[in-house]
Amino acid sequence: MIASPNVEAPRLEDLIKAQSYGLGFDLVGITTLGVATTADAFDAWLERGFAGEMSYLPRTAEKRRDSRLPFAGAKTAIVVAMNYGGTEPSGPVARYARGDDYHDVMLERLTQLHRWIESHVGREVQGKPYVDTGPLLERDLARRAGLGWFGKNTMLINPRAGSFFFLGTLLVDLDLASDAQFVTDHCGTCTRCLDACPTGALVEPHVLDSTKCISYLTIELKGEIPSELHEKIGALVYGCDICQDVCPWNVKFARELSEPAFASRPVLAGKDAAALAHDILAMSDEDFRIAFKGSPMKRAKFKGLKRNASVVIGNIGTIEDMSVIDAEERAVAPSRNHESSI
């Protein structure tokens, strides 16, 4: 059958999106590169000291302010999002970190997308994928690409998917038509995320003091967790989902886990905080390497996980539980319930 000469060929942009969905991404948008609309806000955030020990943020600030700088010659960003199961039950480990490392999973898919684009256009396309580790303000690009708005909890929120998703970007040297920027804010007068944060890390709408955030304290912080924040960490061993859990957009639109790579690994599956903390404190270095191979939880390193587990045992454990903490870790896990018994 001969195609009608009046039927238009699909646009490259539409084909790229279709291929992205076929690779397992849940959202995709396209935007041109340039000075970030949030550059001034980012500078102000750094100036207030809210980056804490994350020295790579001010060190790469110049590139982050302008998305044309990280990869020379790039003109366009293809921004994708991948759901990691916001309807999964809450627990001692944030949902994003329970399975395989999302950096590896998404970088592989973005590389596949890059190769497909080259094959389709019939030439080499200069480009580079980024997932969370490059000098990009990825939320800024995602909003420009129409994927959502910035919630008061600082997360990117999509009106059909909530916020339980990872962001990734493929920078390319192609001139592609941009999607409409997401310009509206749908948080309204809601302050549930600010009210629910145990440590008061959300100091005002859209502003996070990382040095108070439980995710920062249990992952990025390399030293000891300030003693005044121990109790507020509660039963959280790694990361925190509280400001996402209470968001009405997640209550209504969070999606079921669809990517097998993000399912909980055996060392975590079905365990409450006390059981997980016990297991971590009983591990050897070799046990840790085997159990968390390919896991994003390795970012905290074994020492950091033991620190976190000790704090959790100090918060929720019994006197018998405290006996599993060795002398070194016990010093960083004072418990108001057990001080007289240790």
Task: Cite the active site residues.
Answer: 132
Contact 241, 162 (CB under 8 A): no
Place of tokens 């000469």: 5
Per DSSP, helices labelled H in the chain are 12-22, 39-47, 56-59, 61-65, 102-121, 138-144, 192-196, 214-215, 230-233, 242-245, 248-253, 273-282, 285-291, 301-316, 319-322, 327-330
Residue 137 to residue 127: CA distance in whole angstroms: 17
Q: How far is CA 18 from CA 21, 24, 107, 122, 255, in A?
A: 5, 10, 18, 18, 20
Instruction: Classify residue 94 as left (phi > 0), alpha (psi -120 to 50) or beta.
Output: beta
Three-state DSSP state, 115: helix
Strands 207-208 and 127-130: unpaired
Tell me the two tokens of residue 262.
């993000």
With vertex at residue 167, the alpha carbon angle to CA 118 and CA 65, rounded to the nearest 5 degrees, is 90
Task: Identify whether the C-beta of residue 23 lies closer than 8 Å to the C-beta of residue 8.
Answer: no
d(CA 80, CA 20): 8
For 263-298, b/e burial (b = at least 16 CB within 10 A) is ebbebbeebebbebbbbbbebeeeebeebbeebbbb
